[in-house]
Every structure is written in C-alpha cells, then in structure tokens.
A and B are shown apart, each in its own frame.
Chain A
Amino acid sequence: MAPDMEQPVVRIEGLVTAFGEGRRRVVIHDHLALTVTRGEILSLVGGSGTGKTVLLRQMLGLETPAEGTVEVLGEPAAQMGRRGASSRVGMLFQQGALFSAFNVLDNVAFALRELGTLPTSLARDAAMVKLQMVGLKPADALKMPSDLSGGMIKRVALARALVMDPPLLLLDEPTAGLDPSASDDFCDLLRSLHQELGLTVIMVTHDLDTLFALSTRVAVLADRKVIADGPPRDVALVDHPFIHTYFQGERGRRAMAPISPFAPMAVKD
C-alpha cells in the first residue's frame, strides 16, 4: 500500500496565474508550488489580493493556469468539473452559494438526485443524515435559504459539499461572518468530520483562532509565491514582514497565547 499512500492529494508546480492582457496584465501567482498530502488540514493565509481564493479556484478547475500544472487527486484540475465531481471534491463557498430556489433538503440532495439512479427516498435519507451530521435539525430541512442565519447557511453548504463523501474538502473563509461561539462550533464540527470521514481539508482563512485550532499545516502566500509552509507555530516564527504583522500583531499574539513564549526566530530559506 505504500506507493499510493505517498501520492499527494493536490500537486501544484510552477503555477502562473495572470488576469488581463498586455499592459493591464496582473500576475497573481508566479511559479507557485504547493503539495498537499492526505489527511492534512492546510490553511492558506495571506494579505487580501494575494490570490488565496484564486488558488482554490485553480484546484477546482474554475480558473485556467497560464503556465504550470495543477493536479488534484492525480488528475489535471481542468477535469475536475466533469460528471460526478462532488464525489471527488467538496467546496464551501464564502457566501454559501446555496441554490436560492431550492429548500435546504433539495440543496443537499441535489448532487445525488442528478446522478439519476438512486431512488428519491434514498437520496432524501442520505441528505437528512448529512444535515444532522453538520448539526442541523430535521425540521430545518424544508426551510428556504433566505430564511437561514449565516451560521446555518455555512452548515447547509457544508452538508451539500459533503453529500457524496469526497476525500477532499475546500473551504473559503469558513468562519467569516460567524459570531465567536458559532465559529468555535464550526471548528469543532470540522475537526470531528475530519476524523470521521478521513478528509483532506484546504481552507482559506483570516481567522487566527480557526487557524491555530484546526490546521496541521499553514502555507503563507505573499509576493506571488508560497513564502512559508509548515506547522502553524513554525510558520509564525519565520522572519518576513508580512508574517511579522500577521502573526505577531495584537490579534496574533492573543491567538497564539497558548504557545508562547516565543522561540528564537527560525528563518526559512
């Protein structure tokens, strides 16, 4: 079983992402490399506009690389969107992206029903199981997305992303817009799902509490590259202006309080 074990879930090499043409061309990623192995919870951090969400979209095949390769589950990312994609990868969009014309149950069961084979009752039961796994009540199943609170929208979107048990889960700002206790709940939920389902999770987050609570690895995006990559506490000590302000500002210190005192700076080469 060894060789398969080593195969990365996501392998990005020499990725160049650029928008616009000619003089308006803006390069977002410049020969960026990143590898994610199975079972990791990787957090992508970086200032706004450093292309974190774009990197997620690259993994989903929603953007096309100008150069380089993006492989997800051993296939080029461009092929992610073909039939049955939700059994390979689940994505939690920042605003949830629930289908506003469907109720909660239909949102979650959508991918299963589109398979066209499973009987309606089975798809409905499977969706109900996922709804309850993310901590919603059966009575919520008939609500419309417009009647849900922010925290519930995230939960429904998570249930929808997980409905076919994909091995890889991408999260874009999973706790943004949630109150502290709701985001703590959401972190607990993600941690338990990670254990139960053996997921690989890649998330973009600005929330340092979430970052330290969940991630096994942190990748920092700056200067169009991954400038630091490793366990959270090691990355926090890397000597780079962005990391300084990000992790060692007031908020960073608070979030890292349990792991201080600081060790001497370790500079990543």
Chain B
Amino acid sequence: MRNAVRPLSPFISRHLPIEESPPRVVRDASSPSAGVRLEGRWTSAQLGIRQVWRSLDAELKQLAGRPDQRWDLASIEQLDHVGAQLLWATWGRRWPQQVDATDSQRSMLERVGRFSVESPAEPAFSVMRGIDSLGRRVMEALEQARALTEMIGQLALDVMRLLRKPGTGPWRDISGHLYQMGTTALPITALVGFLIGVVLAYLMSMQLRQYGAESFIVNILGISLVRELGPLLAAILVAGRSGSAITAQIGVMRVTEELDAMRVMGISHGFRLVMPRSLALAVAMPLIGVWTILASLAGGMLAADLAMNITPAYFVNALPQAVSLPNLGIAVLKSMVFGVLIALIGCHYGMRVEPNTESLGKGTTASVVTSITVVILVDALFAIVFRNVGI
C-alpha cells in the first residue's frame, strides 16, 4: 500500500511545504546499538538543498563506520534513485546486516547495487602522450597550411571558371554578401575611423606645437592614415565582423550536413561558398578601406581645426601634396588582399568545424584570431615590399 502512495508525494508537496519533510536520520536513544530510523523524503530535490545536505551528510558519515547498525527504512516517505544511491554509498556498496525496508525500496536498492559499477577511467596523463600530442599538433598545423594553400589554388581555378563562363556564376550570392559584409559595415568603420583620426590629431598637435611645425599635421595624418591605419583598421573590423560570420555560417552548414547535401548534388563548395565570399570581400574591402580613410581624415581635420586652428580649407589643399597618389593605390591593393585572406580563413575554419557546439566556438575564435594576425603580417610584408614607393 505504501508502495502505491509513495510516488504521489510531488502532489502532496503542494499542500505541505518542502521544508517540512527533509530526509533525516532518527537515532533510537534507548541503546546505542538499537539502530537508526530514516524519515522524510530521500529525493534528489531534497538532497539538492544545501542545509539539508550538510546536516544529512555529517550524520551519514558518522554512521558509515558502524557496520552492525540496524537500518529502518520503512518510514521513509519517498525514496528515489539518488537517495538510494546515497544509502548504498553510505553502506559501502553492500547490504548491511539488518535492514527493514519495503519491497519497492528493496528492489530499487537492488537495482542501484546491480548497476553501481566503476565508470571507465579517463586515461591518465603521461609524458609520452604529451610528446605525442605535441607531434600531433605540428602535423595538424602542417595539414592546415596545406588545406589553406589548396583553398587558394581552388579559388584561382574557380575564378578562372567564372571568367570563362560568367553567366553561370553565383551573382545573386555575391551581391548578397556584398551588402552583408560591405554596406552594413559602413557605420561602424566610419565611427571607429573618425575617432582614431580625432585622437591621432590631438596627440600629434601637442608634439608638433613644441617645434612650431603645426602645418605638418597634414603630412603626418595623411601618410599614416591613408597608407597604414585606414586599411588596417578596416580589415581588423571586418575580420571580427565578417570573418566570424563566415566561419559560423559554414560551420553550422557542416553540423547540419548541408555541406554534404550540396556535394551530393554535385555543386562544388569552392565555387558556390568560398568564391562568392572571397569575391565579395575582394570588392568590398577596398571600398570600406577608402571609406575608413575618409572618415579618419575627417576626424583629423576637425581635431586639427579645433586644436591648432588649421582650417579645413588648408587641410584639403595641402593633402594632395603631402600624400601622393601611389599611397592610395597601395591602400586599395592591400585592402583587396586583406579581404580575400579574411574570407579564405573564415571558410577554412568553417569547413573544419566538427558537429558539436564547442568546436563551433573554437573554430570561430581561431578564425578571427588567425585572420587578424595574418592581416597584420601581410601588412608588414607590404610595408617592406613598397618601402620605396610613394614616400
């Protein structure tokens, strides 16, 4: 009968506040060997309450060392598997000599006992495996470099295919990506560029004033912003914005087997996924770069006017003499390379995502970090290669 009533207790809890029936151990005071009676609700919900657990745990730890104890479970209101597990652990994973329990409690404890096995151990750390994993990492880095090179080659082949048959190209996709990665990036790049321009101009004005060389602000801002900072800032922002988006999109497509579905239809990932994104960024990135340069120059112009009374008219007039046209050419060329690299790295990490959430997060992070690093590396390369041009 008790058996039938027991699972009902969740409903009783509505009338009886949970606090009123915590699991507890009642000791018979008459003699020390008389045994213990367990009362209350031995359920996981109760054991999850901190105060309840603390007092019960202390009590049970005391009892654990006394094997000839008599255990009376019959007045437990409700026992679930976690409660049974707790008792079983207290008893040292075997039946004590004397137990009073109902049939259902007995069968639950028996089930718990039968299934309480050692869980398979996680492999322990060893030096050999450390070396092994180092080697594995090196191999993986090489493999990644190979895959990235392959992707660049594939992109070249796909672009040639597009040039031969322009009508078959994924133009709608390209224009969609152009909007997503280009147009929607305009406000944030303008804001960041403008603020950097203002900050640079203010800092420079303090130094230049000491030498009375205020008018050189145009040269300094012009060269640094047009040649270096504008394209770099834009590329870093786009790497964070669109690089992560590309990885996440393609990664989710991989998790949901969309990539496989596409391959089954005989549609190449390179032509349909990688190329549109690369082309879109190759077009959008130079435009965003120039846009960022303009915004930062506007910021610098404003700050120069406020801090040093250099009028915008003078600024605009002096700019073409300070910054020769090749500088702008370098900026555009650089931005185009940055754009293609960001897209390729994003796609590369997206294709390597494994079907779990952790891998998706790791892939996205790796994509952003790698593309920003690569952008800065390539920027340094450009600085070396074009050191004699335009200055």
Contacts and interface: CB of A to CB of B under 8 A. Distances in A.
A55 interface: no
A163 B53 CA distance: 18
A165 interface: yes
Interface string B113-138: 01111111010000000000000000
Contact of B43 (A4, A116, A138, A165): A165
A73 B11 CA distance: 6
Contacts of A129: 81, 85, 111-112, 115-116
Contact of B44 (A75, A115, A142, A198): A115
Interface in B49-72: 49-50, 53-54
Nearest to A131: B115
A176 interface: no
- The winner among B6, B43, B82 for most chain A CB atoms within 10 A is B82
A196 B54 CA distance: 30
A161 interface: no
B7 A133 contact: no
B86 interface: yes
Contacts of B120: 138-139, 141-142
A35 interface: no
Interface in A116-131: 116-118, 121-122, 124-126, 128-131
Interface stretch (B172-180, B310-318, B326-334, B354-362): B354-362
Contact of A145 (B12, B14, B44, B356): B356
B48 interface: yes
Given A129-B85, A164-B82, A165-B82, A116 B111 contact: no
A84 B8 CA distance: 18
A75 B13 CA distance: 11
Contacts of A75: 14
A115 B122 CA distance: 24
B353 to A, nearest CB: 11
A87 B44 contact: yes
A101 B358 contact: yes
A38 B6 CA distance: 12
A84 B48 contact: yes
B363 to A, nearest CB: 13
Contacts of B15: 4
Interface in B220-272: none
Contacts of B10: 73, 88, 167
Contacts of B43: 87, 164-165
A5 B88 CA distance: 31
B80 interface: yes
Interface string A218-262: 000000000000000000000000000000000000000000000
B89 A121 contact: yes
Contact of B8 (A1, A125, A138): A1
A118 B354 CA distance: 33
Contacts of A146: 354-356
Contacts of B88: 125
B48 A115 contact: yes
A93 B49 CA distance: 28
A117 B356 contact: no
Interface residues of A, number: 45
Nearest to B48: A115
B358 A100 contact: yes
Contacts of B119: 105, 124-125, 128, 138, 141-142
Interface residues of B, number: 41
B208 interface: no
A92 to B, nearest CB: 18
A74 B14 contact: yes
B357 A125 contact: no
A79 interface: no
A132 B115 contact: yes
B48 A118 contact: yes
Nearest to B117: A138
Contacts of A131: 115
A116 B50 contact: yes
A169 to B, nearest CB: 12
B325 interface: no
- The winner among B12, B112, B356 for most chain A CB atoms within 10 A is B356
Contacts of A124: 119
A126 B53 CA distance: 16
Nearest to A9: B11
A118 B53 contact: yes
Contacts of A125: 85, 88-89, 116, 119
A126 B356 contact: no
Nearest to A132: B115
B47 interface: yes
Interface in B77-120: 80-82, 85-86, 88-89, 107, 111-112, 114-120
Contact of B82 (A1, A7, A38, A126): A126
B48 A167 contact: no
B5 interface: yes
B115 A144 contact: no
- The winner among B7, B53, B112, B358 for most chain A CB atoms within 10 A is B7
Contact of B356 (A73, A100, A121): A100
A263 B149 CA distance: 72
Interface string A136-155: 00110110111000000000
A157 interface: no
Contacts of B54: 117
26 contacts: A1-B8, A4-B15, A74-B11, A87-B43, A87-B44, A88-B10, A100-B355, A100-B356, A100-B357, A101-B357, A115-B44, A117-B49, A117-B54, A118-B86, A121-B89, A122-B86, A125-B89, A126-B44, A126-B81, A126-B85, A128-B117, A138-B120, A163-B82, A165-B80, A197-B7, A198-B6
Which 5 pairs, one residue from A and one from B, show the smallest C-beta to C-beta distance? A100-B356, A115-B48, A198-B7, A87-B45, A165-B80
Given A87-B44, A100-B358, A138-B119, 9 more contacts: A1-B8, A73-B14, A88-B10, A100-B357, A133-B115, A142-B122, A164-B44, A164-B80, A164-B82
